């Protein structure tokens, strides 16, 4: 197989298997983008390097039982990443899903008790308000709402119709303190969240994920909720807004989004814009904050793609070494660039919102993304994130705790194993460290509230259905 052939194979592994109906095109497009870095790797490998990769592939394949796929260990007639044929990829994923969801596998450990001793801090929580009356910037508001709902439908666990929400419920009923709080803390293993206000004030009247919901959750369950306030850099009075967020709303960081509507026009920015962005970062630093989260990689709506590249985050990280810059959706696309940034900038992190959704839909792809980030030396800077109620977090937490790095990726590409220690870091300890949290003190603070562990988990979406009724 030549590099060009491998590039075509990597592309085929997405396009040949996916439904291409118009309703699924935005999500499918995201999946293709997430695979494109594999094609670029194949095209840029030298002849000597390609021979080495082929040798590794043959070595892995020779040790496998022909035609066998061994679930989560990934041992079979397949090779790693680029060399994995599309049919093999689909077989591996089907076998893995079957093993992951089998009654024997699921009953091996009580679901209520599975993560009782693991501190789970979801680094991104939203409470989406996609009500029609809240949408003001078109067609962009519809693009965001449609894209997020499609991800809910596409990435929820297969063969679980009970986890799929109808469009009316998704748009109109999840932006609620009780629904969001009980769904996350009462129905899953999550101990704490970082609630992100969305700064899409030109798309939605309240930005799309209003800060008030996060504040209500923090007031209701002290110690479990931390806030990132939304900043739209082109809005008037942005520096005063940072002061207000710190003094009045007690935020722990800020959230940026690549686009917003300003005076009826779509505007974007680069993180390396010294005139526009550096005063914002300087004010953040002076106010004692350390965390700056910027949405990248996943494009929602009919907008230019360039602002979603992560390239310029490095310039901001070098200019403000005291701050930590979180690439939201890091690794979903632009993997090579993301890895280069992580290797040379210790104050850049990635959160897995979006990528976690691949655990059921494309577990092999999930392993490739996570393994590549880990191999780049960023294991302690990977932050677990679901994204609030885009998908119900419980099955994904449990699937990740059971997940194993495929052995052929360990042998053939030097990916580190996914140990329990690594999983604990990704699920919560990494984010806690970056926030400056004392995990022991945090556990003590939440030890006597209604969601204290060990807890018996309520049925998934039970609080939402109660409110909907």
Q: What is the pLDDT of residue 98?
A: 53
Domains and CATH numbers, the chain: 3-104 (no CATH), 121-468 (3.20.20.140)
Q: What is the pLDDT of residue 106?
A: 45
Instruction: Please state, for a pLDDT cut of 90, what percent of the chain lies above it.
Output: 74
**Whether pLDDT at 323 is above 50:** yes
Kindly report the three-state secondary structure assignment for every residue of the chain: CCHHHHHHHHHHHHHCCCCCCHHHHHHHHHHHHHHHHHHHHHHHCCHHHHHHHHHHHHHHHHCCCCCCECHHHCCECCCCHHHCCHHHHHHHHHHHHHHHHCHHHHHCCCCCCCCCCCCCEEEEECCCCCCHHHECCCCHHHHHHHHHHHHHHHHCCCCCHHHCCCHHHHHHCCCCHHHHHHHHHHCCCCCEEEEECCCCCCCECCCCCCHHHHHHHHHHCCCCEEEEEECCCCCCCHHHHHHHHHHCCCCCEEEECCEEEECCEEEECCCCCCCCCHHHHHHHHHCCCCEEEEECCCCCCCCCCHHHCCCCHHHHHHHCCCCEEEEECCCCCCHHHHHHHHHHCCCEEEECCCHHHHHHHCHHHHHHHHHHHHHHHHHHHEECCCCHHHCCHHHHHHHHHHCCCCHHHHHHHCCCCCCHHHHHHHHHHHHHHHHCCCHHHHHHHCCCCCCCCCCCCCCCCHHHHHHHC
Closest CA to 95 of 363, 357, 355: 363
Q: What is the pLDDT of residue 300?
A: 87
Q: What is the pLDDT of residue 112?
A: 63
Convert the pLDDT of each residue in 400-458 to its tens digit. Answer: 999 999 999 999 999 999 999 999 999 999 999 999 999 999 999 999 999 999 999 99
Average pLDDT over the chain, rounded to an integer: 83
**Whether pLDDT at 57 is above 50:** no
Residue 61's pLDDT band, with cuts at 50, 70 and 90, is very low
- Output the pTM of the full model: 0.80
Convert the pLDDT of each residue in 265-293 to its tens digit. Answer: 999 999 999 999 999 999 999 999 999 99
If one compares 107 and 461, the residue with the highest pLDDT of the two is 461
């Amino acid at each position: 197989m030549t590099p060009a052939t491998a590039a075509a194979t990597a592309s085929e592994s997405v396009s040949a298997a996916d439904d291409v109906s118009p309703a699924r095109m935005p999500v499918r497009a995201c999946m293709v983008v997430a695979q494109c870095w594999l094609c670029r790797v194949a095209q840029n490998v030298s002849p000597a390097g390609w021979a080495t990769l082929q040798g590794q592939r043959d070595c892995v394949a020779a040790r496998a039982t022909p035609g066998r796929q061994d679930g989560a260990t990934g041992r079979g007639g397949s090779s790693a990443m680029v060399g994995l044929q599309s049919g093999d990829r689909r077989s591996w994923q089907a076998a893995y899903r079957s093993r992951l969801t089998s009654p024997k596998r699921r009953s091996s450990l009580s679901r209520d008790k599975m993560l009782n001793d693991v501190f789970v801090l979801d680094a991104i929580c939203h409470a989406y308000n996609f009500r029609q009356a809240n949408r003001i910037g078109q067609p962009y508001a519809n693009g965001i709402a449609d894209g997020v709902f499609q991800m809910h439908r596409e990435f929820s666990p297969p063969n679980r119709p009970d986890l799929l929400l109808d469009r009316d419920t998704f748009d109109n009923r999840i932006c609620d303190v009780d629904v969001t709080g009980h769904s996350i803390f009462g129905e899953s293993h999550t101990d704490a969240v970082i609630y992100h206000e969305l700064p899409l004030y030109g798309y939605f009247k309240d930005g799309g994920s209003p800060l008030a919901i996060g504040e209500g959750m923090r007031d209701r369950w002290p110690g479990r909720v931390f806030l990132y306030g939304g900043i739209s850099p082109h809005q008037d009075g942005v520096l005063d807004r940072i002061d207000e967020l710190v003094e009045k709303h007690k935020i722990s960081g800020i959230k940026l989004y690549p686009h917003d509507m300003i005076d009826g026009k779509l505007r974007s920015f680069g993180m390396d814009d010294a005139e526009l962005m550096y005063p914002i970062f300087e004010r953040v630093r002076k106010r004692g904050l350390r965390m700056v989260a910027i949405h990248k990689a996943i494009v929602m709506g009919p907008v230019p793609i360039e602002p979603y590249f992560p390239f310029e985050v490095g310039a901001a990280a070098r200019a403000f070494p005291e701050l930590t810059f979180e690439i939201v959706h890091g690794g979903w696309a632009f993997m090579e660039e993301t890895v280069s940034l992580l290797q040379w900038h210790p104050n850049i992190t990635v959160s897995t919102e979006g990528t976690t959704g691949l655990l059921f839909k494309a577990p092999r792809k999930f392993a490739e993304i996570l393994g590549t980030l880990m191999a780049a030396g960023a294991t302690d800077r990977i932050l677990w994130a679901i994204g609030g109620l885009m998908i119900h977090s419980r099955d994904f937490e449990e699937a990740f705790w059971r997940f194993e790095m495929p052995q052929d990726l360990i042998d053939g590409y030097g990916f580190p194993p996914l140990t329990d220690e690594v999983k604990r870091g990704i699920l919560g300890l990494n984010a806690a460290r970056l926030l400056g949290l004392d995990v022991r003190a945090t556990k003590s603070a939440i030890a006597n509230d209604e969601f204290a562990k060990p807890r018996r988990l309520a049925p998934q979406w039970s609080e939402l259905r109660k409110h909907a009724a």
